[in-house]
Amino acid sequence: MQNKPIEMIEYYHLLQDEMLNKKKVFDVLFDPKQRYTKGILCEDLVRRMARSILPNDIAVAQGFIYHSGKKSQQCDVLLYNSARYSPFLSVNDLVVLPVEAVTAVIEVKTYLNQTELQKALECFKSIDEICSEALGYFPVEKHIVAFSSISLKTLLRCRHLTPFPSQLNTVAILDKGFLLQEKAPSINPQAYKSRDVLFFLAGRLLGQFYFSTGIVGETKNPYEWYVDQVRGERVRLDGA
């Protein structure tokens, strides 16, 4: 395992803090009734973050996944292989993409609660239905990125996460930590309080890019050490 590069982790901490601070600016400038406007701005922050950490061969947009007359729900962030595929439609930042082009999808939440979690999972389900029909398997990684949320313990108790949904890879909450599935054969969720949320997510996205483009083939994911080096405190329900 490679040594942990402190400078790299601190870089992602700064990016994470910048995103959270901009969200605070939105909270000051817009009143609580203007949630839609704040949501659009937070989605843009996540897309800008993704563009800053991913290679140029992966384009970042919003829009829909399409196959044989069927399309997904609208996705907040679409990561797709622009070196091999072109959108069916591209208008400003909105695209309609062939399913083969997409490597990952991110749903963005300003505040994640059980209702917003269910909405994100419904979007991911619409993607899996297209993947199943078009490809027969599910190559698209799906992540939720939230700026804040209900408590991690409350999320662990959420019926939508137990068992951990097959159509979900990560729930990343910038001001708290992250949730993911326990290692097989367990299908339960696990949650970690962590400062390294964006660092962890970057490792997942970069690793997915390299595997989806065939750059590393069957060799070890060169970004797996990102995930291995994440620092976090396991959240448990015992005694809660």
Long-range residue pairs from 87-92, CB within 8 A, at least 24 positions apart, any chain: 87/61, 87/63, 90/61
pLDDT tens digits for range 11-36? 999 999 999 999 999 999 999 889 99
Beta strand pairing call for 58-67 and 70-71: antiparallel
Q: Mean pLDDT of all residues in the chain? A: 89
Query: Cα separation of 180 and 175, whole Å?
Result: 16
Check if the beta carbon of residue 194 is closer than 8 Å to that of residue 230.
yes
Q: Whole-model pTM?
A: 0.91
Q: Taking 70 as the threshold, does the pLDDT of residue 239 lie above it?
A: no
Partnered with residue 96 across adjacent β-strands are 64, 89
66 to 78, 88, 89, 169: CA distances (angstroms): 12, 9, 10, 21
Residue 138 has what pLDDT? 85
Strands 75-81 and 58-67: antiparallel
What dihedral angle (degrees, nearest 10) is formed by the CA atoms of 30, 36, 38, 41?
Answer: -140
The arithmetic mean of pLDDT across residues 80-102, rounded, is 94
pLDDT digits (tens, 9 = 90+) for 123-176: 999 999 999 999 998 889 999 999 999 999 999 999 999 889 988 999 999 999
pLDDT value at residue 87: 97
Q: Where are the domains of the chain?
A: 6-235
pLDDT of residue 32: 87
Q: What is the CA radius of gyration of the chain?
A: 17
Note the pLDDT tens digit of each residue in 177-229.
999 988 877 888 999 999 999 999 998 888 877 766 665 554 555 566 666 77
pLDDT digits (tens, 9 = 90+) for 61-77: 999 999 999 999 999 99
